[in-house]
Structure 1
Amino acid sequence: MRARERRPGTDPAAEGPGPGSTTGVRSRIRAVFGDAGVTGRLHALDLTTGAEVALAADTPVSTASVHKLCLAVTVQRFADEGRLDPDEQVESGPADRTPGPTGLSMLTGTVRMPVRDLLAMSLTVSDNAAADLLIDRVGLDGVNAAMRALGLRRTVAVLTMRELIDSIDEDSGGDPARLTSDPATLARLRVLDPARANRSTPREMTRLLAAVWRDEACSPGRARELRDILGRQVWPHRLSSGFPYDDVRVHGKTGTLPTLRHEVGVVEYPDGGRYAVAVFTRAARAAVRQPAADAAIGTAARLAVEALRAV
């Protein structure tokens, strides 16, 4: 299917300019979140015109693995400054490897790869072990300094991936089953509290994406590398699900924790339209699989982008 087979703006939620147009699309997006049983925060930004759609866009959120995008930008800035060599070979053994369901985290042998490949693994498959190896080189303070330098003062990293996982284990008493069976355990999770976890806002995440797409976050070559890697993310069930067109490219980074389903990214149309979108959701239940929440991210993003394309 080609994107132009459906004329932009034909969705009834995507009102054109004029009084009440933003309110209309926001109401439709709220309904999408409500039908999925989640609370949603969203910011969508037209990278050409600066037009936006915002829904609780300045509310702090726990970012989960979305914060790996902040880490990746920091790595590229360190490389620009000569503080880090992207070709440095890093060895990772199974004994000291951060756990996780993907990438190096799931391997049983010793692995050796360059920093630039660790960056790719941390973004494309959300590899926790690769991300922590990068944090070892730039530090959480380095990530926060990079975000401040870009004017993102509400985007703060306080936990490595290992610390994040360890805190969940501590708060659940070492019993993962309690996360889905005991509401009191879920309520204790520090990683769900933006005041105690890695955090940002939807608006600041679209600003970060805009900086990457405008070659302002790091040097043009390294920004292009980030854009390419984000376009190779393997998960199609969230942001990408809202844009099932052969000629529309979606670049994204997901984030997942108990009750949390997120994705931030940029949607590029063949006519040159580019739209940064950040969608953060929280469900009332902690089921591992939440297809309705996943799909709501794509639907909400599509409604927001179609509204921007109708302006």
Structure 2
Amino acid sequence: MTDAVARIHAAFADAGVTGRLHALDIDSGEQLDAGADRPVPTASVHKLCVLVTLHERAAAGLLDLTEQVECPPAGRATGPTGLAAMLDTARMSLRDLAYLMIAVSDNAAADVLLRRVGLDAVNATTARLGLGRTLAVHSFAEMLGTVKEDAGPEGARALADPRVITRLRALDPARTNRSTPRDMTRLLAAVWRDEAGTAEHCAAMRRILGLQVWPHRLASGFPFDDVHVAGKTGSLPTLRNEVGVVEYPDGGRYAVAVFTRTAHTAATLPAADAVIGTAARIAVDALRAKALRSR
């Protein structure tokens, strides 16, 4: 595993990012640690915690996933996808809002669900699952609001200035929604092992995570028709994350969490996106090779 960790750090360096990674063989418990316990800002990865909380409360009979919710445009969180980008009132079920929250990372849908379950419930769920270093401190609209406030009067243009980036609270794990790579793979493993809820609800969560539309990060490391990747991304200025599960046709299941930062302020950095898949592939290949050697 030492060689694989070195290769992962080299890949991060070549891509111009600093990175933290944890990979876990869901069935054997074998793992690979490349900064797995360092606190990281989760950004939209924290929507996974909202999803698990939603299904936990549904399983307890505290809400009905088919409940219809009216979503007016006023007060919606901003964003380029889903309800956050729509102009008119929409009406849909909680489970369809969950689909938008995960598949296209819809901030507005996420905040509708977060208001329905409550921030305290999200933290209670992560605590119940033993995620001691995972904490939600604000909604997604509030998180984006801190970026706007910290950027100052120049708005989004100021985010091209590295000095402005250093003062963003949303990038400081001490002041925003946070976790660690190890906590995130533990959460994913609980969903894939039916430990995060009932088998029915865990299957529903796996389905939604498998519908995420972004192929340029974790999935880019596994370009095979018979390998399935399910996950959740997270993005903020200079920050690119993804956590997910890679499933092989031989039954191998691997939870991987990759969190990266770069000094470059450009919104489009293909190498920084792609290295998430590269690092994940190195980690999963190492876990699979070790499993073969131990047979």
TM tier, shorter chain? over 0.9
Q: How does 1:124-139 map to 2 (within 5 A)?
A: 124-139=103-118
- Aligned-pair CA distance for 1:65: 0.2
Q: Please, which of 143, 156, 167 is the counterpart of residue 176 of structure 1?
A: 156
- Aligned-pair CA distance for 1:141: 0.7
* Stretches (4+) displaced over 2 A: none
Q: Please, which of 90, 93, 117 is the counterpart of residue 114 of structure 1?
A: 93
Query: What corresponds to 1:13 in structure 2?
Result: none
Matched, 1:276 2:255: yes
Q: Which amino acid aligns with 1:48?
A: D
Q: Which amino acid aligns with 1:279?
A: V
Question: Gaps spanning 5+ residues in structure 2: where?
Answer: 291-295
Matched, 1:38 2:8: no
- In the alignment, the residues of structure 2 paired with residue 186 and residue 147 of structure 1 have an alpha-carbon distance, to the nearest angstrom, of 29
Query: What corresponds to 1:167 in structure 2?
Result: 146
Could you state the TM-score of these two structures normalised by the residue count of structure 2? 0.97
Q: How does 1:92-241 map to 2 (within 5 A)?
A: 92-174=71-153, 175-180=155-160, 182-241=161-220
* DSSP-derived class of the 2:166 partner: helix
- In the alignment, the residues of structure 1 paired with residue 183 and residue 248 of structure 2 have an alpha-carbon distance, to the nearest angstrom, of 23
- Aligned-pair CA distance for 1:98: 1.2
- Aligned-pair CA distance for 1:78: 0.6
- In the alignment, the residues of structure 2 paired with residue 211 and residue 292 of structure 1 have an alpha-carbon distance, to the nearest angstrom, of 31
Query: What corresponds to 1:301 in structure 2?
Result: 280
Q: Which amino acid aligns with 2:192?
A: W
- In the alignment, the residues of structure 2 paired with residue 102 and residue 253 of structure 1 have an alpha-carbon distance, to the nearest angstrom, of 15
- In the alignment, the residues of structure 1 paired with residue 39 and residue 286 of structure 2 have an alpha-carbon distance, to the nearest angstrom, of 24
* DSSP-derived class of the 2:255 partner: strand
- In the alignment, the residues of structure 1 paired with residue 245 and residue 178 of structure 2 have an alpha-carbon distance, to the nearest angstrom, of 20
Aligned residues: 289
Indicate if the aligned counterparts of 2:129 and 2:196 stay in contact, CA closer than 8 A.
Answer: yes
* DSSP-derived class of the 1:95 partner: coil
Could you state the TM-score of these two structures normalised by the residue count of structure 1? 0.92
- In the alignment, the residues of structure 2 paired with residue 49 and residue 82 of structure 1 have an alpha-carbon distance, to the nearest angstrom, of 33
Q: Which amino acid aligns with 2:269?
A: Q
Deviations 1:216-244 (A, max 9, x none): 10111010011011111000000000000
Q: Which amino acid aligns with 2:202?
A: A
- Aligned-pair CA distance for 1:48: 1.3
Deviations 1:105-128 (A, max 9, x none): 111111000001011110000000
